[in-house]
Amino acid sequence: MKKAKCTWRIQESIILPEEYSAILNEQKISPLLGQLLWNRGIKNAEQLEVFLRPTVENIYDPFLIYDMTKAVERIQTAVANGEQILIYGDYDADGITSTTVMKEAIELIGGEVDYFIPNRFIHGYGPNQAVFKEKIEAGTQLIITVDNGVAGHEAISYASNKGIDVIVTDHHELPNVLPPAFAIIHPKHPQGDYPFGDLAGVGVAFKVATALLGELPLEFLDLVAVGTIADLVSLTDENRALVKMGIEMIRTGERIGLATLIQTIGVKKETVNEETIGFAIGPRLNALGRLGEAAPGVELMTTFDEEEAESIVEHIDRQNNERKEIVNKITQEAFERIDSKEDVHIVAKSGWHEGVLGIVAGRIMQETGKPTIVLTINNESGTAKGSGRSVSAFNLFDSLNEVRELFTHFGGHHMAAGMTLPIENIEKMKEHLQNYIISNGIDLSQGQELAIDEQLQVNQATLSLIQQLSILSPFGTDNPVPNFLFSGASVEQVRQIGTDNAHLKFQLKQEGTILDAIAFQMGNQADELALGKSNFVGQLSINEWNGNKKPQLMVTDFSVEGQQLFDLRGKTKQQKTFPSKDTLYILFDKNSRTFIKELPNEPDTLEFSSVESCVKEIKKQQIKQLVFVDCPIDSEQVREVVQEAKIDRVYLILYSKEEAYLNGVGTREQFAKLYSFVMQQEQVDVRYKLNAVANYLNIPEKLLIYMIQVFFELGFVTIENGVLRKMDKPENRPLTESDIYQKRLKKIKTEEFLLYSDCATLQQWLWNKEE
């Protein structure tokens, strides 16, 4: 069997109240979709209306946020007095859009405004005192932070001491002590009463813009949608309204820079959705700050010049492509450093680009289901810097916060953290995390939790259903794309596709209905689908090709029930992926170890001595899958080991150096020819002349070696230091008296069965499965 990578949690279905069902009927919403809505907390007509059709009426009054009046009055005073205003932003997509919103809002009321986006490698995250000093000396009279600031005590204190007011607008976790800013605009301010605390940085900036302008600036909603989706905040309540209207603004608006970026991506502006933003627009804007300066992002969002927009987009595309290459390279190197037996993966190397380590950590965490920290080492400073990503079962921030003294810089939350620490503290951090897992009884063996919204039959996956699901969009944090479970369907037409066969494409068939399926980054698992009952979890989409539309399942995870046999017979390491995790490689002939040494990572091996000793070792090591490297003399040894050790996953390589079945036992004529040749020679150095003898006698070399061994055992020849000599007047003995000859007969029968039977036959034999 193959376990799912994640722990599946199927949402419990309930009988919907009659009143609610009546509301669904009025809205022409199917019961299945109604169940999904109910499970997402949409349980009455008012909630349904707001969810399906949010309007400006669902946007909260910005003056409900603490200090908003104070902040607006200060900005208005600065504009009226012609003060020089600085907007201090952040280097990600949320920071870029936040800066743009605040800049354009202040300019609309006639303000003299400049902006600064810090460089993560030079200035770090948040208010930087050196930058504040430079800007104040250059004439800045009011500083407004966007998407940062609540933790900027040092820089803000400096500005305050210089008589410069700082208005903080932020949405990140509030520290116990707030900085001495003139005003702090935060939806979760402890003295505030704002009804929704999950705004992104751009959402907070939009609130200030609304209060400043005295009306809802709809023209900024495109930026709000981009920043909110890219920052992965909750897409519920007010954020849902902002994003839904913002996407519509992107489709119909005329922001030149954004339109140029969308065109370069290859998407029609009128079809832009949250997926376009989350997987294309957001990553491109984020790439700027990951590799260098993010300011071009603000320039793109504010430009009115098409040529300038095209030039900036070309730069962004180059940065994004470079970012992808760097991520792929580091990810590959990081995976090579992972010990699969560890509960937390911590990998470090000098020279890794610090701007992409969070992405790399996320990829490893997704693949392995374990918390991961990726660090780049600076040998000159003696420090390591990087990012961590975690799973829901393990609070990364809390665990590391217990040893905050190990770090020179540290911050984060449940699922992610950033850190800088002395190199010598890496091992201390690793030891602490391992102890934390043990002492808190945290089980990481089950993988991440995967919520399943509903179980469907293949015939339920229709175009109509998929089109109805769109009313749940925009999808994102706290409103994910629905996951559906398909069980009991057969799998057909499995094939690997894409570069390096990285992906799988196949079909699910159930009661005559077929559903296309695609599984990205699962190309190396094609053999898993060959036999056994499979269960698939994924998201439904529409695959459109040449005007034809078909339902398609985007597979997220799958499991296979029952025993599985994987056929690696005759395959090289280039042709197949050889397993290593929780795996034992069994050798019947120690000389077959040369095959093992050719594999990329030499696995654990065991030389077979007896079924009993083999089974004992398997249970001791808690082995979950076996690889039989070579072919035994007795096929029953394979079956007995598998059954007594209760192994459900078996790989067969069955390498045969002798190729007994192909070369046979040797004919009477071949033995006679060899005997005649030996009797005519005084001696033959078989170390160097074997090939020549084989060619002369027209006998395959591997067969000839075996025949000479038979003659030696029967006393027809002697072999010393590789030199073969005939025996004078040897005793006349039949070939069948030779144990080697008898083993050869048995090996031929075994090879015929194990090497040339089809996989289904071997699977049935191996686990005694009945027809």
Residue 760's pLDDT is 84
Q: Is the peptide bond before 600 cis (omega within 30 degrees of 0)?
A: no
Worst-scoring range by mean pLDDT, 115-119, 416-420, 736-740? Answer: 416-420
Residue 574 has pLDDT above 60, yes or no: no
Average pLDDT of the residues in 483-502:
91
* Cβ-contact 374, 350 below 8 angstroms: no
Buried b (16+ CB within 10 A) or exposed e, 443-480: ebeebbebebbbbbebebbeeebbebbeebbbbbeebe
DSSP one-letter string for 258-288: HHHHHHHHT--GGG--HHHIIIIIHHHHHHH
Residue 575 has pLDDT above 80, yes or no: no
Whole-number Cα distances in Å, 153 to 139, 175, 190? 21, 10, 18
pLDDT in tens, 121-139: 899 889 999 999 999 999 9
Structure tokens belonging to residue 401: 């916060």
Quote the CA–CA distance of 508 and 515 in Å, as a whole number: 5
The answer for residues whose C-beta is within 8 angstroms of residue 749's C-beta and 6 or more apart is none
Quote the CA–CA distance of 311 and 377 in Å, as a whole number: 35
How many Cβ atoms are within 10 Å of 14's Cβ, its own excluded?
A: 9
* Cβ-contact 21, 28 below 8 angstroms: no
Average pLDDT of the residues in 246-269:
95
Instruction: Report the DSSP beta bridge partners of residue 550.
Output: 543
In the chain, the amino acid numbered 372 is T
Residue 708's pLDDT is 96
Of 654, 652, 606, which is closest to residue 763 (Cα–Cα)? 652
Structural domains of the chain in order of their starting residue, each with its CATH number: 8-40+450-561 (2.40.50.460), 57-246 (3.90.1640.30), 337-439 (3.10.310.30), 565-657+752-766 (3.40.50), 661-737 (1.10.10.10)
Quote the CA–CA distance of 500 and 17 in Å, as a whole number: 51
pLDDT in tens, 81-117: 999 999 999 999 999 999 999 999 999 999 999 999 9
CA neighbours within 13 Å on the CB side: how many for 541?
A: 14
- CA 677 to chain CA centroid, nearest Å: 64
List the Cα angle 104/108/109 in 5-degree steps. Answer: 125
Residue 458 has pLDDT above 60, yes or no: yes
Residue 663 has pLDDT above 50, yes or no: yes
- % of the chain surpassing 90 pLDDT: 81
Quote the CA–CA distance of 424 and 318 in Å, as a whole number: 37
Residue 576 has pLDDT above 70, yes or no: no
Do the strands 717-720 and 503-510 form a parallel or antiparallel pair, or are they unpaired? unpaired
Confidence bin at 769 (pLDDT 50/70/90): low
Residue 572's pLDDT is 62
Return the DSSP state at 549.
E
Average pLDDT of the residues in 478-482:
95
Instruction: Report the DSSP beta bridge partners of residue 388.
Output: 373, 417
Worst-scoring range by mean pLDDT, 75-79, 89-93, 444-448, 687-691? Answer: 444-448
* Cβ-contact 756, 567 below 8 angstroms: no
Buried b (16+ CB within 10 A) or exposed e, 394-407: bbbbebbeebeebb
In the chain, the amino acid numbered 597 is K
Residue 271 has pLDDT above 90, yes or no: yes
**Chain-wide mean pLDDT for the chain?**
93
Residue 600 has pLDDT above 70, yes or no: no
Residue 771's pLDDT is 43
Residue 247 has pLDDT above 90, yes or no: yes
Residue 601's pLDDT is 67
pLDDT in tens, 202-243: 999 999 999 999 999 999 999 999 999 999 999 999 999 999
Residue 705's pLDDT is 94
Residue 323 has pLDDT above 50, yes or no: yes
Residue 416's pLDDT is 87
List the Cα angle 735/739/744 in 5-degree steps. Answer: 80
DSSP one-letter string for 642-687: HHHHT--EEEEEEE-SS-HHHH-S--HHHHHHHHHHHHT-SEEEHH
Quote the CA–CA distance of 420 and 21 in Å, as a whole number: 54
